[in-house]
Structures are given as C-alpha cells and as structure tokens.
Amino acid sequence: MVKKRWWENENVPGHISNALLRTAREVMKHVAMCQSGMSGPKYSQVYSGALSGDGAIPITIECMVATGLPKRTVVGLPGSAVRECMDRIWSAMSSTGILPPRGVLTVNLAPADVAKHGTLFDLPIALGLILADASPSGKRWPDDHACAGELSLNGHIQPVKGILPFVLAARRSGRTKILVPAGNALEASHVPGVTVYPVRTLAQAIDHVSCESRIAPFSRHRRIKERRTSRSMDVSDVVGQTYAVDALTVAAAGGHNCIMIGPPGCGKTMLAERFTGILPEWSEQLALEANCIHSLRGLLTEKGWKQERPFRSPHHTISRAGMLGGGRPIVPGEASLAHGGVLFLDEMTQFSRSVLEGLREPLESRRIVLSRLRDAVSFPAGFQLIAAINPCPCGWDRSEKKKCTCSDVQKLQYAARLSGPILDRIDMHIALLPVDPAAFQSRGESTTRELRVMVRRAIEYRKRRRQAVPNCELSGPDLESLTSSEGLDHVADVMAARALSARSRLRILRIARTCADMDGSPLVRRLDVTRAASYRRLDGVTELGMVLSEQRNRVEA
C-alpha cells in the first residue's frame, strides 16, 4: 500500500484535498487554452523531400499544435541538423514578427522509416507550424506546392544542397509549384515542367502561401550563357605534342581510357585539362545526372548549372571514401563528380592501392554501389579515365636532359605499382617525349574547335553504322565482323611479334575501330591496326622507361 504524504492526509490540518488538486489542474488547462486561444489540437500538412542516394523522395511534413506545457518534438528519423531546426525556426519567426505557436508541438516527417538529413526542412516545418496554428481560419497548404530551404536566425532563407534531385522528386509526385531559396532558383529552373518561386525571407513565403502577395515565378531568361570552352584552355596552347594530341582525339571519339607516360614538364597535365573541351556535347539526360551529383555536394549554387563536362583531378593523397563516396549521410565522391566527364589521376602510381582497386567497379559498370548496414546507395560514375605517370620515381629514366638517379630495383617496383586489373581497363597507353625548345616558337597545330569537329564526325559515323555503344565497349565477335581480313592478318602479325595477350588484341581492335570511324571507313584497315598498336606502349614492358626510348626511336626513324 502506498503511504500517503502529509498533505494528502485529510486529517492533517491545512491539507489540500484531491478534489482541490483536480480543480487546480482544470484551471491550469483552461488558462493555457485561453492563452493560446485554442479549443483542441490543430493540424497541417506541408510537402517537401528528403535526399537519398543520388535522388530524393517526397516527404509529407505533418504538424500538430496541442494544448499543454510547452514541448517541441520532431519524429520520423530526423538527423542532427533536422533536430536543431526548431531553434532556427523560433529565432526566424521572432525576427519576422510572428508569435511562435505555444503548447505541445509535434512534427512528423512521413514516411517515418526514411532517414532525413540536411537543413532543407527548416522552411517547410516553419510554414507547417504557422499553418497548423492558423488552421481554424481554414488556411491549407496547396496540394501542388512543395518547398525546401534553410532558415537563418534573422528570417532569411539560405541555399541548400541537393535542390535538383529535390525538384525532380517533387515533380514525380505531381507537385509542380516549388518554393526554393533564391540562391537555388537557377539550379531548380533546369527541371522542365515546374514553376519555381524564389524565396528570400520567411515573411515572403508566408505571404505567398496565404495568397496575400504571390512571389513572381523565376524566369530562365535572366540566366547568363557561359561560353562552352574558355579561350584560356585551348589545345593549341600545347606545343610539340602532336602524337599525344592525335591519340587523345582518338580516345575522345571512342570513349577509350588513356594513360600518358612522360618525364616531368612534358605537358601531360595541360593535355588532360584540355581533354574535356574536345569531347562531344553531352545529352540533356547526362547533363541532368551530372548536375544532380554536383547539386548533392552543394557545388552548383554559385553558377547554378554546370554547362561543361566535369574535369576532376583529385590529389593522390585522397582516401577511398573521398574517391568513391561515403560518410554519413552518404555523399558522392570524386569518381561520381566526374560522371559524364573526365577523372584525371596525375601521378597515378602514387594513389593508394585500395583507391585504384576501388575504381575497377565504376570503370566496368559505370556506377558505384556503397553498402551500409541499413541500406545500399548507388551513384552514377560514368567517367573517362585519363592518367599520367612518370617513367620512374625521379622522372628522368632514359632521358637525354637529366640523369636518372633511380636504381633498377626501384624502377621495377615502380612499374609493378600499376596493378594488372586497373591497367586492363585502360585501352590506350601513350608515351610523351620532352618538348623540343624550338617548338615553343610556334603554337600547337590543332585547336580545340577543330578536334571537337573531328570527334563529332567520328561519333556520327559510328551512329550511322547503327552502333549504339561506344567503341570502347565493343565485344570480340562484333569487332571481328567490323574488321577487314588484311586488318585481322596484321593484328595476328603484331601479336606474334610483340607476344601480346588476347586481351591486348581486343584493345587494339577497339582502338583501330575508332581510327576507322575517324576516317569514315566501314571496315578496319591495316593502317588502322598499325596506328592502334602504336597506342599500346605498355604491352610487354617491365620498365616504364622502355616506352620512352621506343618512342624516341620511332620519332628518329
């Protein structure tokens, strides 16, 4: 039996009877109801979206304002940034001159089994609470609207990451009128079929939703067109490397991955930086996919849209998660940021083995799947790999300019760092010699514009041959049917002379097919095979310096 406290014992003088306590509770409840002017729980619904993998899913935000002692709760797997939102919302409301709702506030983010991360829920939750508080007046969130945005303490709305996937998800769920932070409006306007309302302050958003003053829809015409290739990055800046420029044009036309071997300062990085310029225009679908990835990382807010194919050049100290993606929440890595463009690995041998091995999956399937305890996330990673290496650790093996200081063992170990499996996925290996000082008097022979035309013609010719996949993905039987008998004989001769594997033969035939496309030839000819074989310099090489001396002999001959 529970012992009664002294004040609960009716025999003690001065006790408060249970009946009185009950009355006191009723009075407190009545006072609270009078203060907030409510008669029962009030409810509202607002539509938004949560980022998940490389996309987003539609989210319904439910807000309930009930009587009771003040309490704020957010449920539905909110991340730490979402849980903190209530403090930002309170300050923003106070700064805007709105009395924040009182009582027991419950916010539910449905579906409740999807993790919610990021700050894009600030604006929809704030609007949901205001609408719930005003629900007796009959104001409701319009069914065709969705919104996202981060609130600052003074009521302004800040840009958020991942607006592009958010707008795509909203459109899929039939919501075509989207309120986004003004800083994200350009980015959002690239999704066709939606009306974008740029919001600058919380007050503006409230006026828009309550139809007191509508925000003018964002117009794409204000957008300033960027030039596709800036003049400062033209291939003609690279002098004395005609062989490498030709090889990279073939790589661009056939989608071949390429590795450049050469001493320091011969122009490997310059060539790689100019490579995206000669790639053909990308399709709208590819541009949207690549921009979604950049949007998730918050890299679009400045310019609003990536017009050019991406060029990513991560440092060799990058971690596996930095390259492939990871973290919590999972964000895409450099390999996905290079989707649709070029991933350039300078000093490829310096990258850690686990990073290079991790690239095998995207090179094969053009996607990266990251599995975690709860879920698996997949990001697109269809990049073209361009790598650069020195012939030896010091960089001057078999050079006429400087003396190499590396031992034979060092050189062999250095060459062995290029692992077989990753090298197998690189079609072309080209050797670059130091530039002749006399060449600096002139400019390069070809401009980016000319090379791009050549690449476009080769791709158009391939499409006329009714081949949908790029040449780098052709299989053996298909290639043989596209090669003339003299071409096949010549491949057999090259294989015998250089003791090549069947895999090398396949690569040579693929490159030869691209060379034939560039000349508009329906069948691969003998000269195409000769040219292709010259782009396979690492076949059967134990020391990387050998490719340079071979190349020098070729030039002198």
- What does the binding site for Zn ion look like in residue numbers (CB under 5 A)? 392, 394, 397, 404, 406
Measured from the CB atom, the residue of 53 and 393 that comes closer to Zn ion is 393
* Nearest residue to 384 via CA among 489, 252, 479: 252
**Whole-angstrom distance, CA of residue 245 vs CA of residue 271:** 8
Q: What are phi and psi of 235, to 5 degrees?
A: -60, -25
Q: Closest distance between Zn ion and the C-beta of residue 434, in Å? A: 14
- The pair of structure tokens assigned to 502 is 């069947």
Q: Closest distance between Zn ion and the C-beta of residue 269, in Å? A: 19
Measured from the CB atom, the residue of 254 and 545 that comes closer to Zn ion is 545
Q: Letter for the amino acid at 164?
A: L
Q: Closest distance between Zn ion and the C-beta of residue 545, in Å? A: 8
Q: Closest distance between Zn ion and the C-beta of residue 535, in Å? A: 24
Measured from the CB atom, the residue of 201 and 390 that comes closer to Zn ion is 390
Q: In the 8-state DSSP scheme, what is residue 57?
A: E
Contacts of 206 (CB under 8 A, 6+ apart): 96, 98, 127, 130
Q: Closest distance between Zn ion and the C-beta of residue 271, in Å? A: 22
Measured from the CB atom, the residue of 487 and 545 that comes closer to Zn ion is 545
Cβ(178)–Cβ(194) below 8 Å: yes
- The pair of structure tokens assigned to 529 is 């095979």
Measured from the CB atom, the residue of 389 and 392 that comes closer to Zn ion is 392
Q: Closest distance between Zn ion and the C-beta of residue 412, in Å? A: 12
Q: Closest distance between Zn ion and the C-beta of residue 404, in Å? A: 3
DSSP string, 315-333: -TT--HHHHHEETTTTEE-
Q: Closest distance between Zn ion and the C-beta of residue 413, in Å? A: 12
* Nearest residue to 258 via CA among 363, 332, 335: 363
Cβ(277)–Cβ(452) below 8 Å: yes
Q: Closest distance between Zn ion and the C-beta of residue 349, in Å? A: 13
Measured from the CB atom, the residue of 380 and 393 that comes closer to Zn ion is 393
Measured from the CB atom, the residue of 117 and 411 that comes closer to Zn ion is 411
Measured from the CB atom, the residue of 44 and 390 that comes closer to Zn ion is 390
Contacts of 446 (CB under 8 A, 6+ apart): 235, 236, 245, 249
Contacts of 164 (CB under 8 A, 6+ apart): 187, 188, 190, 191, 288, 291, 292, 295, 300
Q: How far is CA 358 from the centre of its chain?
A: 17
A 10 A CB-CB count for 212 gives 8
- The pair of structure tokens assigned to 228 is 């596709």
Q: Closest distance between Zn ion and the C-beta of residue 387, in Å? A: 19
**Whole-angstrom distance, CA of residue 537 vs CA of residue 545:** 11
Measured from the CB atom, the residue of 178 and 404 that comes closer to Zn ion is 404
Cβ(114)–Cβ(50) below 8 Å: yes
Beta bridge partners of 242: none
Q: Closest distance between Zn ion and the C-beta of residue 393, in Å? A: 6
Which secondary-structure segment (H or E) carries 346?
A: strand 342-346
Q: Closest distance between Zn ion and the C-beta of residue 348, in Å? A: 17
Which secondary-structure segment (H or E) carries 95?
A: helix 85-96
**Whole-angstrom distance, CA of residue 290 vs CA of residue 294:** 6
Which secondary-structure segment (H or E) carries 202?
A: helix 202-209
Measured from the CB atom, the residue of 190 and 537 that comes closer to Zn ion is 537
**Whole-angstrom distance, CA of residue 536 vs CA of residue 497:** 14
A 10 A CB-CB count for 484 gives 17
**Whole-angstrom distance, CA of residue 322 vs CA of residue 325:** 6
A 10 A CB-CB count for 427 gives 25
Contacts of 527 (CB under 8 A, 6+ apart): none
Measured from the CB atom, the residue of 102 and 398 that comes closer to Zn ion is 398
Measured from the CB atom, the residue of 133 and 397 that comes closer to Zn ion is 397
Measured from the CB atom, the residue of 114 and 412 that comes closer to Zn ion is 412
Cβ(162)–Cβ(118) below 8 Å: yes
Q: Closest distance between Zn ion and the C-beta of residue 396, in Å? A: 5
